[in-house]
Structure 1
């Protein structure tokens, strides 16, 4: 698992018992989240935009009061925001869907997009250009990490290595640091996440049908099943 440890553990815990019994889970975060020590000013702001659970957690750690509506991408981010006390509304599974929703419904503005230092979609800029004023503030850093020694050892073994990738940036990092010879099975949350992985010598790459944790779990389940059939010498479809 390549996500930050807490997010990886949540994902694994939500896999079925059958899937978990068929794999040995190795936690090797290749991205570390570090909240910044900044002051978030919300005077005059009419709502917040969260495009990741990391931004919600960073905002909460910085003492941002949950007294504004929050427009969120995806069920994980929305659930995290609700758990932290925000009146959170899921307005799409991607930044594109969030932008489309906000431009259609035109909530009171200005809005404030709290985000990491690396992000996709230029949410604030695109919305502002379209007449909905949105400010943005970076509230956390994303530091790339190498594989752990345990993960590095697995990459040179004979057993298949199955790696779920949840963002284009971690996919690029994974593609750069993978030097293993073990059979490689990849799951990408989106086509954009899959793109950096095409350069790798993999056995199979599966893209989730939707960029959601539920569809990622389903994709992992299918790939585990295929990998086990290959190990047993059976034909895959």
Structure 2
């Protein structure tokens, strides 16, 4: 029986492809089989407010950047990004961002210390965590928000379900509590399961699953998730699958 580990990627295709490319640069010949099965779809919707008085933009995800561009947002404003991946998306969009420490709390703390003048606009999806605009207002900053995309949950694909019920280990990176909860609700399988969670809230959504290992990234950013996934893939290569018919 083939015991080669499978890396199951559950983010939207573009984000999954980007993560797989980054991992391939680290693992080279050790790169596992990759199966992309998005559990969420991003639909860009919503309208920007009057941008006349907006002095700076605040982004907590690359999806927010893309939604802002899709809505026709002007690119001549300074931008603040939650982490380097979001900042890179903003740079590709023609913005000049500053990156914070990787999560919403660090972003709020960074903005509170910097105290940029003028009105701030936080662009996000309908399912957002961190209450960024509210916390900025509580800190005395002028902040509003715009919901410019929807995150639609998707079922596991047949190929993903088959891999999760097979004999080879499956490594699953999970980047958000909502996606992790969707995965946990649909997981039905006996394959050895190794989970990488981007944060403790993500880990809590899957803590009850019968996993061989649940690892929380050292930091809520892509480099830390890459390190966690590499560690889990090395462990997966040493695991034995379930007995046939078990």
TM interval, shorter chain, is over 0.9
Superposition pairs for residues 65-76 of structure 1, below 5 Å? 65-76=74-85
Question: Structure 1 50/186 Cα, relative in aligned 2: closer, same or farther at 3 Å?
Answer: same
Which digits, 9 at most, give the CA deviation of each residue in 1:108-129, with x for residues without a partner?
Answer: 1210001000011101011112
Residue pair 1:190, 1:210 contacting (<8 A) in 2 also:
yes
Which digits, 9 at most, give the CA deviation of each residue in 1:182-215, with x for residues without a partner?
Answer: 1111001111111111111111011111111111
Superposition pairs for residues 144-223 of structure 1, below 5 Å? 144-223=153-232
Aligned equivalent of 1:29: 38
Structure 1 position 3 matched with structure 2 position 2: no
- Pick aligned residue for 2:21 from 13, 34, 37: 13
- Tell me the CA shift for residue 37 of structure 1: 4.3
CA RMSD across the alignment: 1.4
Distance 2:201 2:48 in 1: 32
TM-score, length of structure 1 as denominator length? 0.94
Structure 1 position 78 matched with structure 2 position 87: yes
Aligned equivalent of 2:96: 87
Of residues 148-157 and 20-29 in structure 1, the stretch that sits farther from structure 2 once superposed is 20-29
Structure 1 unmatched ranges of 5 or more: 233-237
Distance 1:159 1:75 in 2: 34
Helix, strand or coil at the partner of 1:107: coil
Residue pair 1:38, 1:62 contacting (<8 A) in 2 also:
yes
Aligned equivalent of 1:235: none
Which digits, 9 at most, give the CA deviation of each residue in 1:155-186, with x for residues without a partner?
Answer: 11111111000011111111111111211110
Q: Which has the higher contact order (CA 8 A, sep 6+)?
A: 2
Aligned equivalent of 2:57: 48
Aligned equivalent of 1:142: 151
Distance 1:188 1:153 in 2: 22
- Tell me the CA shift for residue 19 of structure 1: 5.9
Distance 2:239 2:57 in 1: 47
